[in-house]
Amino acid sequence: MAPSLPVNALTILTQIIQSAARASSLESQINLIVDQISEQLAVDVCSLYRRLDDDSLSLVATHGLSRSIPVVIPPGSGLVGKVMLGQHTINISEPSQHPDYFYVAHSHEEEFHSFCGVPLIYRGVVNGVLVVQSRRPDCLCSEQEALLSTLAVHLAHLMISLASGPLRTRNENIFHSGIRGAQGLALGRAIVQLHPNLAKVQRLQSESSVRELEGWHHMKQAAIEEMCRERVIVLKEMGDGPASVLDAYQMMLQDPLFEQLIEAEIKAGFQLPWALKKAVESISEQFRVMEDPYLRARAEDIEHLGDKLYQIWKGDGEQSLPESEGPLILVGDRISVSVIAKLATRDLVGIVCFEGAALSHIAVFANALGIPAVMGVEGLSVSNGDPLIVDGTRGEVICAPSQVMQNEYRRMIRERELLDVRLQQDIHLPAETLDHQRVTLMANSGLQADVEPGLRFGAEGVGLYRTEVPFMLSESLPSEQEQESIYQNVLRQYRGKPVYLRSLDIGSDKSLPYLPGIHEDNPALGLRGIRYSLDNISLLTTQVKAALKAAGDSDQLHLLFPMIGSTEQLDESIALVKSTFEELTVQGFALRYPKIGMMVEVPSCISLLPFWRSKLDFISVGSNDLSQYLLAIDRNNPLVSKWFDPLHPAVLFELKRIVDFAKAEDLPVSLCGEMASDPVAVIFLLALGFRQLSMSAAKIPLIKSLIRHIDLGDLVQLLTEALRLDTAASIRHLGEQFIASLDMPCKELLAEIKRP
C-alpha cells in the first residue's frame, strides 16, 4: 500500500498542478510539470516516456537528460520497460548494476546513481512512465514516492491528450481520433463549413415580447420553406431515405412542446435566440439521457435544427462552397444536409464532423452515399484546400499527411475499391457456407432512411424494426392510421420478405417528450419495454392494430415483444394480439395471423423458454441487452466499457443454452445486435448454431463474404476450444487466428473491424 501524502507534499502537489493548469499548451504543461518535479523533489532528472503502439517507449519531455537525438526504448527493455510491463514502481540506487538496465546512448544518464520509475495508468492501461534520477545514490523516501505516484495519476490523463495530438518536430501526419460514422477510407482536400453556434448565445432581455413572438413565427416559416427546398435537392441526389430525415426535422419544428418552450421564454422577457437555445437544450437533454444509442443520437438532430433556426435569425444564408477540383472532404461542426447533397454531385469522398455520434443523421447520410465519415473529432484545425485522410473504419482523421502517407492510403483505397467491387458482385448470392449451410442475413431498421441501404446491400428482410423511432420523432402519439402507413411502407419495400416489428421499447430511459416523465433511479431495470406497454395498454393495442392492418393477408409480419421476463407478460401480450385480430376480422379486414415471438434479453426468460414453447413461433436474441444484463456492465459507460465484450464465456454459455433448446424444440431462433456484425463473434455464433442474423445494412456484404468462405465442419473443434477458455480476450484471439487462416480476399477488412 502506497504511503499517504503529508501536508507539505499536498502543498507541493497543488502548486505543481495549478502552475501546469496555467500553461498555454499541452506541450508547455508537460514540460512545466517535469521541471517542477525536479525542483520540488530536488532531483537532477525528471523524464516522461510515452507508450507507442508497438509497446516501445518514447521520451517526450525531460529535465536533465540530453535530447540531442530522439530517445526510444525498445519494447520491454530496461528499467523503464520493466515499470511499464510490471505496472508497479521501481525505486532503487545504482540502476546501472540492475540486470534489466538499458543504456541510452548520448543521454549522459551514466552520471546518475538513483532511479525511481512510476507507471502512468489510465483506466487499467499503462500509457507511459514517469522517471526521476539523481546523482546521489539515494532512493526516494516514502513521502517522495507517494508524491510521484500521485502526480503520475494526473499525468496519465494528460497522456491521453498527447496520444491524440502528439508532439512533433515536423508538422505532418497529425492524427485525430473520433467516432466511426461510416466505414471506408478517403484521401482528398478539405471544404470547411462552419455555422453560427446557438450554444454560445447569451441570456439577454428583450424590449418587446410581441416583436420577439412575431420574429419566431417568421423564422419558423422561413425554416419550413428552406427545408422544403433542401428536400427537393436531397430527394434528387440521395433518394427517399435521406430525404425523410428532413421530414423528421419539420416534425420537430412543428412540435407543440417545442413552440411552448420558446414562447414561454419570450413571454418571460427574453430575446428569441435565448428562448430558442433554452428550448433546444430542454428537448436535447431528454434524448441524451436515453439508454438506446440510436435515440440518444437524436439529441444532435434537435441541435442541428436549433442552429439552422439561429442562422436564419442572423440572416446568414447558406455558405458558398469554394471551388476545388478532385476528391473533396466536407469538414464542419453541424453539417448542412443540402451541402452534402450538393457536394455529392461533385466529388465528395468523405465527411469529418466536429460533433455528432455514430448513429447521427450525418452518419446515416454518409452510409447512404457509401462514403467514410468520422464524427466527434476534437481539436482539428484545418482550412479549405488542406489535404486530409479520413479513415472511417478506425475512426481517425490525418491532417497534413506526408507524401509517403498519402501514397500508402492511395494503395489501400485502390485495394478497398477492388474488394468492394468483389463484395458488390456477391450481394445477391446466398450467404451459404462451403459445406452448403444456409444463413439468413437481415437488416436492422427504424427510419425510412435505413430501408434503402438494406435493400441495396442484399438484406433478406428486416430482422429488427424499432417501432419506437417514429414515436420519438413525432410531435404527438402517432395515430393508428399514421402507424399503419409507416409499417405498410416498410412491408411494401420488402415485399415477399419477412419483417420483424418490435413493439414499443420505451420507458423512463427512452421517454416520449409529449408524455409525462417518470423518474427512476435505475431505468435499465425499471419501466421499459413490454412492462411500459402493458401498463399503457392502449398504446400497444393501437400499435398491434396498425401492424395487422398494414400486413393484411401477407405472411411477412412477425411481431416481436421486447424485455419479456415472465409468463404473465408473455400471456398478456399474446392475448392482446388474439383479441385484436378477432376484432379486426369481425370488422371485415382480410388478415393473416402473424408469427409471434419475443426478444431474449432478460436473463430470467432463458430458464422459462421450455414453458413457453407452445406459445411462440420464434425467438430473437437481443445480444446487446442480454450481454449487459449478464455481465452487469453498461457498454456505453466509458468507466467500465473496457470490461464489456459479448464474447465473455458466460455470454457464450448462455447463447449455447438458448440455441440447444431451440434446436431440440424446432423453434426458429435469430440474433440481432452488435455481435451479428462483429466478424469474430459471427464465427462463434455460426458454430453455436445460429442461422439467422440481423445487423446494420452496411455490414451485410462483408459478413456474407466471411460466411461463404467458412466450412462449418472446421468450427466444431474451434467452439470446443473456445468453451474451455475463461476470458473474452482469449476467445477473441482464437477467433482472430481462425480468420487469419481463411483463404478469402477480404481478410484484411475483417482484421480491421474491431469489436463494436
The whole-number pLDDT of residue 754 equals 43
pTM greater than 0.75 (yes/no): no
The pLDDT value given to residue 604: 94
* Run of H or E including 608: helix 604-612
Report the pLDDT value the prediction gives residue 654, as an integer from 0 to 100.
97
pLDDT attached to residue 119 = 93
Q: Vertex 382, ends 178 and 308: CA angle to 5°?
A: 75
Q: Which of these is catalytic: 46, 399, 605, 672?
A: 672
List the chain residues with pLDDT less than 50.
1-7, 165-170, 508, 752-756
- The SS3 of residue 79 is helix
CA distance 543 to 530: 13
The confidence score (pLDDT) of residue 248 equals: 66
pLDDT given for residue 449 in this prediction: 58
Domains and CATH numbers, the chain: 7-164 (3.30.450.40), 174-192+319-422 (3.50.30.10), 195-314 (1.10.274.10), 426-752 (3.20.20.60)
Do residues 144 and 118 lie in contact, with contact meaning Cβ atoms separated by under 8 Å? no
What sign does the CA torsion over 455, 457, 461, 467 have? Answer: negative
- Dihedral in degrees, nearest 10, Cα atoms 476, 479, 485, 491: 90
Strands, E assignment, 245-364: 328-332, 348-353
Beta strands in 86-230 (DSSP E): 90-93, 114-122, 125-134, 174-177, 179-182, 185-193
Residue 251: its pLDDT value, please? 73
Report the Cα 646 to chain-centroid distance in Å: 16
Sign (positive or negative) of CA dihedral 708, 714, 715, 716 = positive
Beta bridge partners of 559: 501, 596
- Could you tell me where the beta strands, DSSP code E, fall in 435-524? 438-445, 462-466, 499-502
Q: Which long-range contacts (CB under 8 A, 24 or more apart) does 166-173 make?
A: 166/50, 167/26, 167/27, 167/60, 167/61, 171/400, 172/400, 172/401, 172/402, 172/405, 173/398, 173/400, 173/401, 173/402, 173/405
Taking each helix axis as running N to C, give the angle between helix 7-21 and helix 142-164, from 0 to 180 degrees, rounded to the nearest 10. Answer: 20
From 63, 176, 195, 361, the catalytic residue: 361
What is the side-by-side order of every strand in the sheet holding 125-134? Answer: 72-73, 57-63, 45-51, 125-134, 114-122, 90-93
Determine the Cα–Cα distance for residues 252 and 305; give it in Å rounded to an integer.
8
Question: ∠ CA 712-714-715 to the nearest 5 degrees?
Answer: 65
CA atoms within 13 A of residue 107's CA, in its CB half-sphere? 21
Reply yes or no on whether 217 is catalytic: no
Bridge-partner residues for 47, per DSSP?
A: 62, 131
pLDDT score, position 584? 97
Q: What angle do CA 457, 458, 459 make, to 5 degrees?
A: 105
pLDDT tens-digit readout, 260-293: 888 888 888 888 888 888 888 887 777 766 665 5
Give me the pLDDT at residue 165, please: 46
> What does the pLDDT look like over 503-523, one tens digit per residue?
988 764 556 666 666 667 776
pLDDT for the residue numbered 309: 79
Q: Would you say 35 and 23 are in contact if contact means Cβ atoms under 8 Å apart?
A: no
Examine the residue annotation and report whether 672 is marked as an active-site residue of this protein. Answer: yes
* Cβ atoms of residues 470 and 478 within 8 Å: yes
Q: Across 503-613, where does the E strand assignment appear?
A: 557-561, 595-600
Predicted local confidence at residue 223, as pLDDT: 79
In whole angstroms, give the CA distance from residue 400 to residue 752: 23
